[in-house]
Structure 1
């Protein structure tokens, strides 16, 4: 039997079926031709997946297991339905590992849960006497695993543009702004355009040294670089004010 991680869905099903209170699950009685055969859970799986499996015995195992599960009361403990899921698990491992190798972002527990749900759903309409009943249950689970994996890999995180714009355009009140002592602040405010992101640019310079304001020497060059051609579009306005002054 293929081993699974202790925290996986398949592993929990293994423990529930093989470690039922009071001992292991009661044997399954199947009819093969004119004889009755008692099989333990392990023998039932061996009849389905063993190297010397008997097709007639395997069909009898699925027929009896599905019949017992379908006849189980809805308010019962669900051991019959869980046993059918447990019988189907070895038929799912190959595709489970293929999916996990192809898409590492797919969560294994979610993938196993999808497979179990598919088996239980298909069990509600399964025909115990139909051809290849077990194969149909396994096929439903495999298809659902692949469909889930493909759906998950198509889910690409999308940036919340509105939230980003609100964050970038958020203004800080003058009382909260750090103020250089006796310095200058230059604020460049772009015109409002709904189709664009915009924010106020702020440059601060410390106060003058040795009685000479350094801002005076830099302001002409700043204004020169900020000028525009008379036919160009306005990109913003520039304001120069003492640090902390209201604008």
Structure 2
């Protein structure tokens, strides 16, 4: 049993196709030719190469990958290998912004390439953009989602600690006569994971609740209730609340 000399999937692919040849001929300005894998990839990423030749290489690579039904998938691996330089640039930009494990990014990149490769039409113009742009977008989306994750050494212990906090069977919130009522029950999931429920209230409405509680505590609830206005109108006066014995 042979050992894999690398611990990154990009390096494994590089080793796989370092001396390989393209399994199909390409059409150059001088006519049909057969290129090695390194020569073909050098053409793809060289600014001085002919656009027509680049299109031909990508078209043949994508078409061969989509027709590859073998268990080894050598044609699909070749298409992934041709895209590695573009993916390395993307992973380098991501690594500058976020400290994400490079091996995770490389694995996600290949999975995204395989997913996009299935639906790419090799007959369209700029087939390389049709393959690489959606793949790069998926990798960026994965990286952004990955930054929102927080590693936990023992998820079971975290759930047990969450469940150990006693909570009432029901937490009714009533007494408001606005035509609605909120009732919160504890989560029934065995892992105890739940999300915080938050209701956003306008500042003026929240302030009215606070003043209502203060007025009720001072025994002025009925007076405030009769004095409230159903809608905005002209101001007829002000009401100041001060601590007992405070300065006037």
TM range (shorter): 0.5 to 0.7
Alignment of 1:157-196 (within 5 A): 160=158, 162-163=160-161, 166=164, 194=167
In the alignment, is the contact (CA less than 8 A) between 2:21 and 2:35 conserved in 1? no
The structure, 1 or 2, with the larger RCO (C-alpha pairs under 8 Å, 6+ apart) is 1
Q: Deviations over 1:110-148 (max 9, x none)?
A: 111111111111111111111111122111221111111
**Using the alignment, how far apart are the partners of 2:21 and 2:60 within structure 1?**
15
In the alignment, is the contact (CA less than 8 A) between 1:114 and 1:141 conserved in 2? no
Instruction: Compute the TM-score of the two structures, normalised by the length of structure 1.
Output: 0.58
How far has the Cα of 1:94 moved from its partner? 1.7
1:39 alignment partner, SS class: coil
In the alignment, is the contact (CA less than 8 A) between 2:22 and 2:34 conserved in 1? no
**Using the alignment, how far apart are the partners of 1:81 and 1:143 within structure 2?**
20
The answer for the alignment partner of 1:47 in structure 2 is 43
How far has the Cα of 1:63 moved from its partner? 0.8
The answer for the alignment partner of 1:85 in structure 2 is 80
Q: Deviations over 1:62-81 (max 9, x none)?
A: 111111112222x3421100
The answer for the alignment partner of 1:68 in structure 2 is 64
Alignment of 1:138-157 (within 5 A): 138-156=132-150
Q: 1:34 to 1:163 in 2, by over 3 A?
A: same
**Using the alignment, how far apart are the partners of 2:17 and 2:45 within structure 1?**
18
Q: 1:155 to 1:40 in 2, by over 3 A?
A: same
Which one of the candidate residues 40, 52, 59 is aligned to 1:56?
52
Q: 1:98 to 1:27 in 2, by over 3 A?
A: same
- Say yes or no: does 1:109 pair with 2:107: no
The answer for the alignment partner of 1:216 in structure 2 is none
Structure with a larger share of its residues in strand: 1
Q: 1:25 to 1:102 in 2, by over 3 A?
A: same
Instruction: Compute the TM-score of the two structures, normalised by the length of structure 2.
Output: 0.58
Larger Rg: 1
**Using the alignment, how far apart are the partners of 1:25 and 1:76 within structure 2?**
20
**Using the alignment, how far apart are the partners of 1:157 and 1:111 within structure 2?**
17
How far has the Cα of 1:156 moved from its partner? 3.2
- Say yes or no: does 1:94 pair with 2:83: no
In the alignment, is the contact (CA less than 8 A) between 1:28 and 1:40 conserved in 2? no
Number of aligned residues: 160
The answer for the alignment partner of 2:197 in structure 1 is none
How far has the Cα of 1:33 moved from its partner? 6.9
How far has the Cα of 1:25 moved from its partner? 3.3
| Root-mean-square deviation over aligned CA pairs | 2.6
5+ residue gaps, structure 2: 169-248
**Using the alignment, how far apart are the partners of 2:23 and 2:39 within structure 1?**
9
